[in-house]
């Protein structure tokens, strides 16, 4: 399929497009031009048209984009038309914050299982999510057929946890640790470093805004 070959930068913008289309749909907007789309999400119109071109003819010259048709299209390619279960490994302070956030309130992504080594957490339910012993992770991932794993574990065990999750069939990781994970080519890792993001923000404030 064409969407498997799109650039990573384009792939990162797809959820932004989807969320704005949802807002338009809820506001009863039927169509929108690429220029108005660009103004709203702060991505230039040429980039939007190029991103959309990877998927074929999604709009009409002089008409713009049909909101409902485009929303349904992105819903399919982002798997928002079905529930996706993910696992969380590491129920420390940050892990608990993610459980509180509860992804499925805003999308069709749901944390359906979490794993930890702390006895006081094991066999409890946090925000509707069962917490299992880390020793059960491989079996539970297999039984629940979970392919996506969120890592909020100490950096020193991140690679080990990743390796074990891959043994259980995991194909993608949202990695909040400082370790850059080593994985096979068929496994995707999205690294999220909040410190780096904050430092980048401060740099832009100091050097680009003043």
- Write out the binding residues for NAD(+): 90-95
Q: From CA 114, how far away is CA 131, in angstroms rounded?
A: 5
Q: Which residues are annotated as a binding site?
A: 90-95
């Amino acid at each position: 399929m064409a969407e498997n070959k799109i650039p990573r930068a384009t792939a990162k913008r797809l959820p932004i497009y989807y969320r704005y289309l949802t807002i338009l749909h809820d506001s009863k907007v039927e169509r929108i031009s690429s220029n108005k789309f660009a103004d709203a999400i702060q991505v230039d119109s040429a980039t939007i048209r190029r991103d959309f071109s990877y998927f074929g003819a999604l709009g009409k010259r002089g008409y713009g984009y049909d909101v409902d048709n485009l929303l349904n299209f992105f819903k399919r390619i982002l798997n928002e038309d079905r529930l996706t279960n993910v696992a969380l490994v590491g129920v420390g302070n940050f892990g608990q914050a993610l459980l509180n956030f509860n992804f499925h309130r805003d999308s069709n992504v749901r944390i359906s299982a979490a794993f930890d080594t702390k006895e006081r957490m094991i066999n409890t339910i946090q925000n509707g999510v069962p917490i299992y012993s880390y020793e059960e992770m491989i079996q539970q991932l297999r039984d629940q057929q979970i392919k996506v794993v969120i890592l909020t574990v100490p950096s020193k065990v991140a690679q080990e946890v990743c390796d074990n999750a891959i043994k259980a069939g995991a194909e993608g990781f949202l990695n909040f640790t400082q370790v850059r994970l080593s994985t096979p080519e068929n496994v995707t890792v999205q690294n999220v470093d909040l410190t780096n993001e904050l430092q980048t923000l401060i740099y832009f404030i100091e050097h680009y805004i003043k």
